[in-house]
Amino acid sequence: MTPPVKGDGMRGLSVFISDIRNCKSREAEVKRINKELANIRTKFKGDKTLDGYQKKKYVCKLLFIFLLGHDIDFGHKEAVNLLVSNKYTEKQIGYLFISVILNHESDLMRLIIQNIKNDLSSRNPIFITLALQCIANIGNKEMADAFAQDIPKLLVSGDTLDSVKQSAALCLLKLLRNSPEIMPTGEWTTRIIHLLNDQHLGVVTAACSLIDILVKRNPEEYKACVSLAVSRLSRIVTSTYTDFQDYTYYFVPAPWLSVKILRLLQNYPPPDDPSIKSRLNECLDTILQKAQEALKSKKLQHSNAKNAVLFEAINLIIHIDSEPNLLVKACNQLGQFLSHKDTNLRYLALESMCLLATSEFSHDAVKKHQETVINALKTERDISVRQRAVDLLYAMCDRTNAEEIVKEMLGYLETADYHIREEMVLKVAILAEKYAVDYTWYVDIMLNLIRIAGDYVSEEVWYRVIQIVVNRTDVQGYAAKTVFEALQAPACHENMVKVGGYILGEFGNLIAGDPRSSPLIQFELLHSKYHLCSPQTRCLLLSTYVKFINLFNEIKPQIQHVLKQENNLKSSDVEIQQRSVEYLQLSMIADADVLATVLEEMPSFPERESSILSSILQKKKPPSDLANQQQKEEKVEKVEKTVMNGQNYETGPKIQTVNNNNQIDLIGLNATPPSNKTQTVLTSTTPVKSDQEALLDIFGGPVPVVAATVPPVQANLDSLFSDTFGVPTQRIASPVQEIPQFIPILSIQDNHIQFVFKNADILFENESIKILSKCEYKQNLARLSLTFMNKSNFVYQNFSVQPILGNDSIRVLPRPLDSNVLQSQSQLIQILNCECVNDFSQLPQVLVQFSCNGTQSRFELNLPIFLNKFFDPAQMDSQTFFSRWKNLGNPGQEQQKIFKANYPIDKDRNSQILVSFGWSSLSGIDPNPENFCGAGIIYTSTQQYGCLYRLEPNRQAQMYRLTIRSNKESISKRLIELLDNQF
């Protein structure tokens, strides 16, 4: 068939294209092309008499070959030669070749620029246009330098043809994109802005794009464009479709220009001038109203063009964000689109609503459509639309609807498209954390998330789960129980094993009382997954096992057996091997107290910005340099930034990852070469006893003869403890600004109530010092270690910690400090041995003093030691309990308090609080199964006190009655005080 060819029809080219099309195979095509390339090469090389037409034909063939996907490495010079021709068609092909094939760094660039210069100064407007289009296509730095002067002149000159002006405007725009420094200012500003008033709508359209980028570069300089743009817009909006002849597109007057103006105005805040402002609002209102009018044509083009303007108007309304009336109208309009039959409109409506949801004026209006959006998530057939629905649900989520939205998103995850799962997982994780009121809900959601989409749960997500569980005492027991149940599934995701391993290792003891989750069962359950896991997870599990040895001594043999197995002890993975060896040694040689010290419960993680959040923010951020785009995104970010425990993340430096070094190194044995550490522990098991330090001796801990004479051991141990704390010795994010002068600390606000239930946490922190406390108890004795971290850039001298006398009930004996100088960005550890002589309610105190730059800091510090810490839980049967209960019936021995529930009444939670308080939580004792009772013994140096309690919840009234009986009135009173407000 003869192909239809326009114009002069380069016959040879048509034949060649036909040949290629007739090729039956790829090989045949390549062969034909190579033949042609060889032919063209000889022609270009040998034949000096090639005329313009032939050159044009061959260049065109090369172009065709290139567009088929083959590389072209010659012919560039011939193409550039075509530019010299005075024939339009040859010039045109030359320019086309250059625009399509040449890259920016061509060595022919100078030649090209020279030719463009010639054409620009030509009297033939059609040559000028060609040259301008070429600049607009390539627009590199060299061209910017060469033409920065000429083009603005061309643009505003009265002699220039309209079509040339259009090209010149876009040409200048392109040059500005790559070379911002050629920004026209001064006299040019007004003249360029006035192009908005040009008679020719094509010129206005092109100029509008140019002004948009100029405004982005220098909004102040081009501010005058606002009023011109508004009046231009107003004239279009109020016109009829016959006013603009061919610029009316399917009955919509100048849609391209309208949209460009609406976008231009999004660069500025709402106009200050009230008359311009009201004119603009009228325009926007008219556009919204027109959307309600009947369509003038059934053609899709008509409604598309009309809605294009409408959506851009809504974008501007959202940008202005101060006209509640318009915002709500816009939202209603989008609401209608949500159930429109045109998929494109549903998509765009969901997208725009995302922005509306971030405005305080329209957030509630958006929420009205929640059901429709959820429905879209379930029923839309197009994945792009479903994705928009996910985004919108995320944006519209707040405290009132979080539970439902998270539920729906989780449900959708089961069937979600693979490539959006990871983002969805992050979104669910963020929402669950942000809106968790009840942290058991959070735990449930997160474990479900791992169950449903384990593969897409990134490390930062499961780290975060662990951080939250570690930091929240009230949820630990529940988390242990839930994760234990989740692990019972026949197939569970490795991420579940990781979370499960960590949580049981830390809090498995909280559920060990239940025979269904006894220590051995917990261990066997975890170990049944072991062989299916990656080395990284195995390492984590090994750490869990060694923690089990500490928590449940009774299963030590089983665990040692596993550690001894060849595949561990002689594992080809060096980390597994090392851990097996070290943990095995630790379990064999170290005694229970050393083990307990090394494997102490993890302290709270410092509150930081969730790394999940940073990762989603990164995803959102486009690499584009367009300011407008960023503006749009910023709005979304602003909302997101307020996520996560609220405050000041906006100002603070962003910390990207949360706990890098906690990945595998869960008990912190990895901070220095591990072999040394094991030795440290080993040597310390043969202590030389010192009479003076008998107190310490009871812990069987490492006792150097005199601390000062064997500093290495001490130092190593300290670092061991501090590693266990997870406290980095050097702050990674060092403060950017130096504090010019050190402000002495004279008193501190310390609230230690969290220590009633836990033994390690941050005691105090401000910008210059951070104090961590960690404490171990044994009957009437306590060993407290205070870590002082100097966060400033100053050295603290004469550092001392002294007990404040006066509290006879509790004796505090400090160990000498390693040094009395606390260097900048480093730490000192003060060990204090304490003895409970008598029951007490006043916290023991120490005086901390140091000097810095000549100013003296001196403050009192309450030690987080509470009476209940000296508890030992007591187990007993119902009969014993009630007979003792009766015996303690004297006045004063019983203390009672009736109070309103602070939290939803939850059996597991209550039981866990009671257990972490230190006494037992006995089941099956009280005739009413709702009630709790239990017992404990408080040890003091002088006497032991038995204490009994009953906690009776009343679900109807949401009240509790707590009764405590002990053989000393002051003890009963104090215990009631300590438990106040905890249920």
Partner 1 sequence: MISLLLLFNTQTKIRLQKWYISYSEREKKKMIREIMTSILAKRLPSCNFVEHNDKKVVYQRYANLFFCIVIDRNDNELLALEIIQRYVEILDQYFKNVCELDIIFNFEKAHFVWDELVVGGEVQESSRSEVVRAVLDQDDLQNFEIENFS
Site for partner 1 in 615-674 (CB under 8 A): 622-624, 626, 628-629, 632
Q: Which two tokens stand for residue 506?
A: 């830390």
Q: Is 707 in the site for partner 1 (CB under 8 A)?
A: no
CB of 34 to partner 1, least distance (A): 19
CB of 622 to partner 1, least distance (A): 4
Q: Which stretch binds partner 1 (CB under 8 A): 342-350, 663-671, 710-718, 845-853?
A: 342-350
Bridge partner residues of 811 (DSSP): 835
Residues 873-892 that bind partner 1 (CB under 8 A): none
Among 37, 109, 156, 166, binds partner 1 (CB under 8 A): 166
Distances (CA, A) of 713 to 303, 582, 704, 722, 814: 80, 18, 8, 14, 18
Give me the count of residues in the chain. 983
CB of 46 to partner 1, least distance (A): 23
Q: Which helix (H) or strand (E) holds 933?
A: strand 932-939
Distance CA 37, CA 54 (A): 15
CB of 347 to partner 1, least distance (A): 5
53 in a labelled binding site: yes
CB of 104 to partner 1, least distance (A): 6
Among 76, 329, 346, 369, binds partner 1 (CB under 8 A): 346
Distance CA 328, CA 363 (A): 9
Pick the closest to residue 225 from 175, 216, 180 (CA basis): 216
Q: Is 423 in the site for partner 1 (CB under 8 A)?
A: no
CB of 863 to partner 1, least distance (A): 55
530 in a labelled binding site: no
CB of 372 to partner 1, least distance (A): 17
Which residue's CB is nearer to partner 1, number 423 or number 926?
423
43 in a labelled binding site: yes
Among 80, 82, 136, 397, binds partner 1 (CB under 8 A): 136
Is residue 884 within 8 Å of 946, Cβ to Cβ? Answer: yes
Residues 291-320 that bind partner 1 (CB under 8 A): 301, 304-305, 307-308, 311-312, 315
Which residue's CB is nearer to partner 1, number 54 or number 855?
54
12 in a labelled binding site: yes
CB atoms within 10 A of CB 621: 13
| Phi, psi torsion values for 311, nearest 5 degrees | -65, -40
Distances (CA, A) of 256 to 251, 308, 330, 333, 887: 13, 9, 21, 21, 91
Q: Site map for partner 1, 98-117, x if CB under 8 A?
A: --x--xx-------------
61 in a labelled binding site: yes
User: 648 exposed, middle or buried (CB, 10 Å; 0-12, 13-18, 19+)?
Assistant: exposed
CB of 116 to partner 1, least distance (A): 14
Which residue's CB is nearer to partner 1, number 292 or number 766?
292
Pick the closest to residue 535 from 494, 483, 583 (CA basis): 494
- The gap from C-alpha 514 to its chain's centroid, in whole angstroms, comes to 38
CB atoms within 10 A of CB 956: 6
Q: Which two tokens stand for residue 293?
A: 């009018």
CB of 41 to partner 1, least distance (A): 21
Sequence-distant (≥ 6) Cβ neighbours of residue 915 within 8 angstroms: 477, 510, 873, 921
Identify the three-state secondary structure at position 769. Answer: strand
Which residue's CB is nearer to partner 1, number 516 or number 621?
621
Residues 806-865 that bind partner 1 (CB under 8 A): none
CB of 412 to partner 1, least distance (A): 18
Residues 355-414 that bind partner 1 (CB under 8 A): 381-382, 384-385, 387
60 in a labelled binding site: yes
Identify the three-state secondary structure at position 150. Answer: helix
Distance CA 889, CA 912 (A): 27
CB of 141 to partner 1, least distance (A): 12
CB of 241 to partner 1, least distance (A): 14
Among 137, 372, 401, 690, binds partner 1 (CB under 8 A): 137
CB of 306 to partner 1, least distance (A): 9
C-alpha angle 614/615/619, rounded to 5°? 115
Which residue's CB is nearer to partner 1, number 15 or number 705?
15
User: 557 exposed, middle or buried (CB, 10 Å; 0-12, 13-18, 19+)?
Assistant: exposed
Number of residues this chain uses to bind partner 1 (CB under 8 A): 79
Which residue's CB is nearer to partner 1, number 346 or number 965?
346
Distance CA 613, CA 640 (A): 8
Q: Which stretch binds partner 1 (CB under 8 A): 205-213, 460-468, 846-854, 931-939?
A: 205-213
Which residue's CB is nearer to partner 1, number 255 or number 726?
255
Q: Which stretch binds partner 1 (CB under 8 A): 198-206, 479-487, 685-693, 712-720?
A: 198-206
Residues 38-97 that bind partner 1 (CB under 8 A): 53, 60, 63-64, 67-69, 71, 87-89, 92-93, 96
Q: Which stretch binds partner 1 (CB under 8 A): 346-354, 444-452, 656-664, 729-737?
A: 346-354
Q: Is 6 in the site for partner 1 (CB under 8 A)?
A: yes
HEC string of 60-126 equals HHHHHHHHCCCCCCCCHHHHHHHHHCCCHHHHHHHHHHHHHHCCCCCCCHHHHHHHHHHHHCCCCHH
Laid out side by side, the sheet with 894-900 consists of 871-874, 932-939, 944-954, 959-966, 894-900
C-alpha angle 864/865/870, rounded to 5°? 150
Which residue's CB is nearer to partner 1, number 211 or number 555?
211
Distance CA 695, CA 324 (A): 71
Is residue 488 within 8 Å of 526, Cβ to Cβ? Answer: no
Which residue's CB is nearer to partner 1, number 297 or number 384?
384
| Phi, psi torsion values for 132, nearest 5 degrees | -65, -40
Distances (CA, A) of 425 to 410, 430, 446, 834: 8, 9, 9, 48
Among 238, 343, 528, 553, binds partner 1 (CB under 8 A): 343
250 in a labelled binding site: no
Which residue's CB is nearer to partner 1, number 52 or number 505?
52
Which residue's CB is nearer to partner 1, number 324 or number 622?
622
CB of 185 to partner 1, least distance (A): 22
Distance CA 528, CA 530 (A): 6
Number of helices (H) and strands (E) in the chain: give both, helices first.
Answer: 41, 15
Which residue's CB is nearer to partner 1, number 137 or number 855?
137
Among 222, 347, 412, 866, binds partner 1 (CB under 8 A): 347
Q: Which stretch binds partner 1 (CB under 8 A): 153-161, 168-176, 844-852, 900-908?
A: 168-176
CB of 631 to partner 1, least distance (A): 9
Integer Rg of the chain from CA: 38
Among 3, 324, 557, 929, binds partner 1 (CB under 8 A): 3
Residues 235-294 that bind partner 1 (CB under 8 A): 245-247, 249, 254-257, 259, 263
69 in a labelled binding site: no
Q: Is 780 in the site for partner 1 (CB under 8 A)?
A: no
Residue positions in the annotated binding site?
11-12, 43, 53, 57-61
